[in-house]
Structures are given as structure tokens and as C-alpha cells.
Amino acid sequence: MTPRLIALTFLALFLPSPAQAQALGLPNQTRDLPIEIHADNGIEWQQEAQAYIARGNARALQGNVTVHADQLTAYYEKGANGSSQIWRIDADGHVRITTPQQTAYGKKGVYEVTKGVFVLTGSPRLVTKTEEITAKKSIEFLEAKSLAVARGNAMVIRADKRLRADILTAYFVKGADGKNQVDRVDAYDNVTITTPNEIVRGRRGVYHTKTGMVVLRGSVKITRGNDQLNGESAEVNLNTGVSRLLSGGGSQVRGIFQPQRKNVGRQSSPK
């Protein structure tokens, strides 16, 4: 079988028929669009493993989503009517997923087609027009729920401000142009906001990307130099840099302010 014929066979598997229109697609893409595969070093068909392997600057394109990797492996299974259906795609090496609104990076990606779940590992990060989300363990994209979950020392970076937590969940909504964008980020456990002027800690937080407002709850502490404010909740505006500590549940807000110390040197005796 010639390389061109192998490539055409591979593409045929990715072209859903009307009966299979809901069977395959890249994240956040409609299933009636074809997927195109490109690779510099050819495409290998492993019949026993029921897999196709695209090597060398491999790219999978569908609509406005493109998955780049050193190697793409598509696993398929045969249906009762003899048709083939891709159920998993592995992306290995320099993985990059691009859309008009955001780009995701990692070392390895696994897309479970039937579940609509894409897991990115290897220092993964998601870059949007205003924020960057990073994680130590993984970033999971859940297509059906239109959200992404960053696990392990996860962080949202906006200019010179940082929102860090054990787990961050980013929710996507369609904008006026019909494109997906991050609308809200929920932060769970060991939440810390760092700005040039202060450090804010709490148990949980909700970050609204449009307004830049972060609402923290649970044993909130705001530290500014040697001064500290304690309360049950706080509002931090990442756009303006203004923070408000709030009371709740019958508890009061408490502030500890350290006086500035003046350096008093010894006076030299007159000669």
C-alpha cells in the first residue's frame, strides 16, 4: 500500500458518515466536520493493533482546532456493520492544541473520543488572551461540561498577579462571536493570591475573568508587609488591586498592624 493510499485510508476513518456524525471530533468541535491528518514522516497502519501512527510534525485539524505533536496515534475499533471508529488519540512530544481563543501546551495528551475527555500532562499550561493556567500534574478538558481542570499546584497568571490552588476548574462559555472563552475559575484548597503589594490566603475561591474579581472564603488572611488582616471572606480585584476583607457567620474582622521602627543611631560626642 503506497503512503498516499495509507493517508487516504487514515483520513477516511476520520470522515464521519451521517450515521456516525456524533462518534468523533476534536474538543469543542461539531462531529459533522472532517478531521485532516498531516505528518512529515508518513503514516503507519498497524492492523493487528488497530492503530494508525502519524510521525514527524504530526497535525490533526478539525474546524478551528488543531492538535500538534511529534507523533499522533489513533486507535480504532470495527463496528458490527464493518465500519471503523476512532475511540482514542494519543499525542506524544511537544503537544500543542490551538484554537482562536486559547492554546494549550504539554508533553503528552490523551483524548478519549467516546468520553469527550482530553488529558494533557508534562508541565501542561493553557494560555488565553488575558490569563495563563499552569499545573504540575495535569490539565483535563471535559468537552460535555465545557470546563478544564488543572491539578497539582495549579496557578492562574494575570499580568503580575497569581492565583494558586491545589485544583483549579475553568469554565468556558461561548462569546458573542460563538468562540469559547474562560468565564470563571474555581479554586480549591490552599488558595493563595499574590500581587505586588499583598498575599491573600483562603480555603476556596472563585475568579470571574471578565471583572477580574476573586472572592475568597474560609479563614482568609491578607498580608501586606508586616500587617495582617483576618476574616471569613474577602474580595480581591485583580484589575484594580483593591482588596476588601469581609466578616461573616457572626465573626469579626481582625487587623494586626505593626508600627514602623525607626533606626536610632548613637550620637557621636562633640570634639
Q: Beta-carbon neighbour count of residue 179 at 10 Å? A: 15
SS3 string of 58-109? Answer: EEEEECCEEEEEEEEEEEEEECCCCCEEEEEEEEEEEEEEECCCEEEEEEEE
Rounded Cα gap, residues 178 and 163, in angstroms: 28
CATH among 2.60.450.10, 1.10.3720.10, 3.10.180.10, 3.40.50.150 for 123-258? 2.60.450.10
Rounded Cα gap, residues 8 and 13, in angstroms: 9
Question: What's phi and psi for 224, nearest 5 deg?
Answer: -125, 100
List the grid coordinates of 31.
462531529
Rounded Cα gap, residues 221 and 237, in angstroms: 15
Rounded Cα gap, residues 112 and 7, in angstroms: 22
With vertex at residue 94, the alpha carbon angle to CA 149 and CA 105, rounded to the nearest 5 degrees, is: 30
* pLDDT of the residue at 20: 34
Domain ranges of the chain: 1-122, 123-258
What does pTM read for this prediction? 0.76
List the grid coordinates of 18.
451521517
* pLDDT of the residue at 79: 76
* pLDDT of the residue at 261: 61
Rounded Cα gap, residues 86 and 49, in angstroms: 13
* pLDDT of the residue at 253: 61
Is 102 in contact with 83 (CB distance < 8 Å)? no
Q: Which string of DSSP letters, residue by residue, matches the chain?
A: --HHHHHHHHHHHHS--GGGTTS--STT--TTS--EEE-TT-EEEETTTTEEEEEEEEEEEETTEEEEEEEEEEEEEE-TTS-EEEEEEEEEEEEEEE-SSEEEEEEEEEEETTTTEEEEESS-EEEESS-EEE-SSEEEEETTTTEEEEEEEEEEEETTEEEEEEEEEEEEEE-TTS-EEEEEEEEEEEEEEE-SS-EEEEEEEEEETTTTEEEEEEEEEEEETTEEEEEEEEEEETTT--EEEE-BTTBPPEEE-PPPPP--PPPPPP-
* pLDDT of the residue at 3: 36
* pLDDT of the residue at 19: 31
* pLDDT of the residue at 191: 95
* pLDDT of the residue at 254: 60
Q: Which residues of the chain have pLDDT under 70?
A: 1-34, 179, 248-271
